[in-house]
Chains A and B, each alone.
Chain A
Amino acid sequence: MEKILFYILSAIIIGFAVLSVTSRKLYRATIYLLFVLMAVSGLYFMMEYNFMGAVQLSVYAGGIMVLFIYAVMMTNNIGKPLRSISTKRKILPFIIAFGTAILAIYAIYSYQGIANVHEATITSVDQIGQKLLSYEKGGYVLPFEVVSILLLAVMVAAIVIAKAKKLVNQEKN
């Protein structure tokens, strides 16, 4: 059952990833990328890593993709297919992509791997929270605080931008 699901999801990921790169329509390419991200979150749910799956859905599929769609709408001629690139400019990206693929496959196959004898455990949000805020070995308290201050600053900045007009008017007076 899980094997079948895994192959279906992988087929979706690979298929839509190829489509999103080869599509001539910019808007369509964005949509194919969205399907890739959703299938990846499906993989997380299959592994019972629910928190990561939900984060993948809300941050990538729900947040970043909407941003992408808005950004794509700002470009010119989205409805029309893009013109193709000359063969000369295709060579370098092809070499880079092909080289990376070979490197990745080589790395995977040369890795001996450790037999996984542990039972699969469901990571609860509680454990994630404890780990994020622990300052012992392997804890993530410093990066967590840095990121949270950054995000809070972004939220406050959004409020300030929303109120900017009023501030400018006050300064004029």
Chain B
Amino acid sequence: MILTNTTNYFGQLVNYLSEQMGIGGQILAYVLVAAIYLSFFAVAGLLLVYVERRVAAFFQLRLGPNRVGPHGLLQTIADALKLLSKEIFGTNRKDNLLYKTAYYLVIIASLVSLSVIPFSRGIQAFDINVGVFFISAVSSVGVLGILFGGWGSNNKYSLIGGMRSGLQMISYELSSGLAIITMVLLAGTLQMSGIIEAQRDTWFIIKGHIPALIALFIFVVAGTAESNRTPFDLPEGEAELGAGYHSEYSGMGFAYFFLAEFINMFIISAVGVTLFFGGWLAPFHLTDSLPWQPLWGAFWFFMKVAVFIFFMMWFRWTFPRLRIDQLLTLEWKYLLPIGLVNIILMAVLVYYNILISF
């Protein structure tokens, strides 16, 4: 079933181990792949927290963390250890089931979306034929985790934060979905690897010129809103709500929410890179003739994602937070109509083949 594709390194691992050891080997291979993804999740999360702090410091003319380890690299690890050793406690009369499942749901949603993302040729755990759609479907389950956390905490600030988050994510999912559909029109497939193959000669941002630029703009705004980042961080607006839906979480409970938020930022950047900037393809076929192709692919992929993430961090220190009515106005009055018109524009361009391609 899943993961038996032989062009895929994870698929090869599963096939090899199941040939060697039968069904036990197959299960072992699945566990190994899951462990690889979990460790990537933790390392990328910690690294992103560090980068966020350094970038924030850079924009505010500070130094940022620079005491623990070289250039402060171990600071986030120290923080993680502190969070691990903290006592976990909650409010009285909380809904224990929801309170406990909330962060698992959020984390599972981001881990599952991570499995569809192509890091390089053949480094993708789950290459299904509805890739992009699958990511937006799974990320809509993550919203439920936040809603659970808001309700289960038995705290009015958490509840308001959770409800705001649900409202925001469901509204902006429409716009990001429309932007994704606009780009899928160019690719003709929903499969992530297929979308990248379609960009072998020309990246979609160049191929689709004007509507692609509009779609990129919509996607970045909607993606920032979906990951609850600063111009749209009303769910955890500390001035009015404490910390929003995760006010009542301590220790690792809080850390899970925090990590998942950063991984969601990574996922949105990765989807953006895949849709607009050719995923792991090298610019101008620079490294196509070199050995170690998968590693070069991963190199370009992470470079592009890093630039995307840097832009998202830049927004955080540039734009002031929106009010809830401004947030809804932006989505329903501007982004949604623009997105709908943009799809028609793109469809006309694709039909008459008014595209730039080399």
Contact = CB atoms under 8 A, between A and B. Distances in A.
Interface stretch (A83-91, A93-101, A118-126, A130-138): A118-126
Given A1-B23, A46-B1, A65 B129 contact: no
Nearest to B93: A79
A134 B110 CA distance: 37
A144 interface: no
Interface residues of B, number: 37
Which DSSP category, helix, strand, loop or mixed, fits chain A's interface? helix
A114 B130 CA distance: 30
A54 B332 contact: no
Contacts of B134: 50, 54, 57
Interface in B21-42: 23, 26-27
A61 interface: yes
A73 B147 CA distance: 11
B175 to A, nearest CB: 11
B136 A58 contact: yes
A57 B109 CA distance: 11
A70 B140 contact: no
Given A54-B130, A125-B189, A162 B332 contact: yes
Contacts of A69: 144, 147, 151, 166
A115 interface: no
Given A54-B130, A54-B134, A61 B170 contact: no
B163 A70 contact: yes
Contact of B189 (A27, A122, A126, A163): A126
B104 to A, nearest CB: 12
B66 interface: no
Contact of B140 (A48, A50, A61, A122): A61
A13 B98 CA distance: 18
Given A48-B1, A50-B130, A54-B137, A70 B166 contact: yes
A171 interface: no
Contacts of A46: 1
A162 B129 contact: no
A124 B194 CA distance: 13
A48 B2 CA distance: 8
Nearest to B27: A1
Interface string A15-49: 00000000000011001001000100000011010
Interface of A: 1-2, 27-28, 31, 34, 38, 45-46, 48, 50-51, 54-55, 57-58, 61-63, 65-66, 69-70, 73, 122, 124-126, 155, 158-159, 162-163
> Closest 4 CB pairs between A and B?
A62-B140, A58-B137, A162-B332, A57-B137
10 contacts: A1-B23, A27-B98, A28-B95, A57-B140, A63-B140, A66-B143, A66-B147, A122-B129, A162-B329, A162-B332
Given A69-B151, A124-B129, 15 more contacts: A1-B1, A1-B27, A51-B130, A54-B130, A55-B137, A57-B141, A61-B144, A62-B141, A62-B143, A62-B173, A66-B140, A66-B170, A73-B151, A126-B189, A159-B337
